[in-house]
Amino acid sequence: MVQAGLFYLRVCYKRTLKLSVLLAGLSGVLTAQELTVYVGTYTNGASKGIYTFRLDSSSGKTTVPGLVVESSNPSFLVVHPNGKFLYAANENQSGMVSAFEAGAKLTLLNSVSSHGDGPCHVAIDRTGKWLFAANYNSGSVAVFPLGSDGRLGEASAVVQHSGSSVNRPRQDGPHAHEVVVSSDNRFVMVPDLGADQVVVYPGAKPGMLVPASVVFRKPPALRVRWTTSL
């Protein structure tokens, strides 16, 4: 069984390669110093999907990464709280979210539409019953029920963000960038890069995305005064 992820890292290299790295221990298989590392990649080059290698946490030594399952652009990964399942955001134009049974190998359980373009982030609520996906290119957010067998249900709610901001090349429209579930499971927060806003949703209604009374937390505008001296 895969234990809860120890930490999660996104790496950008020369603006062309993005990796998402998920570390998890395999109880009963690896020693206390050994960790299994899952690596999500973009597959528009040599990569073919999700890779894995072992990390010795005491020495920092690693084994050679190997492909564990083929998947299209699995750019972001998250492990279920029970450690049995892993989920990937398939960051394509017709976005998908995929569920895998986790262990020595990854076995695809099913994939469903992310209801948006370019899903870049997925997160699971504290109960382990709901998964959220942020679609970066289209600026929408969706929530999916998780079955006891780890499979994804069809989206129970989809919300389309709107708005833009000052940097037109990057902020010509909404770009939902991440989903953050509060530690008490009461709120779901979605930073939107395109609109310069954080949208706050209450988590009191499972499977729904209903905006809170104060929906947008917009950062204050910067005021710059130029001075010259002779």
Q: β-pairing, 85-90 with 74-79?
A: antiparallel
pTM of the model: 0.81
Say if residue 24's pLDDT is above 60. Answer: no
Q: Which two tokens mark 176?
A: 């939902």
Read off the pLDDT of each residue in 68-96 and give the average, rounded to a whole number.
96
Q: In this predicted structure, what is the pLDDT of residue 19?
A: 52
Name the residue among 157, 185, 163 with its Cα closest to residue 176. 163
pLDDT attached to residue 21: 59
Lookup: tokens for 87 = 């989920």
Question: Per-residue pLDDT for 81 more than 70?
Answer: yes
- Say what the pLDDT of residue 216 is: 56
Please tell me the predicted confidence (pLDDT) of residue 16: 34
Question: 209-221 pLDDT, tens per residue?
Answer: 877 654 555 555 5
Statement: 8-202 belongs to CATH 2.130.10.10: yes
The whole-number pLDDT of residue 209 equals 84
191 vs 104 pLDDT, higher one: 191
Q: Model confidence at 229, in pLDDT bands (50, 70, 90)?
A: very low
- Proportion of the chain above pLDDT 70, given as a percent: 77
Q: Is the pLDDT of residue 196 over 80?
A: yes
For the purposes of burial, counting CB atoms within 10 Å of the CB of 22, is it exposed (0-12), middle (13-18) or buried (19 or more)? Answer: buried
Residue 170 φ then ψ, to 5°: -110, -15
Q: Where are the domains positioned within the chain?
A: 8-202
Spell 85-107 as b/e; 16+ CB within 10 A means b.
Answer: bbbbbbbbeebbbbbbbbbeebe
**What does pLDDT average to over the chain?**
82
pLDDT of 102-157, one tens digit each? 977 899 999 999 999 999 999 999 999 999 999 999 999 999 999 999 999 999 99
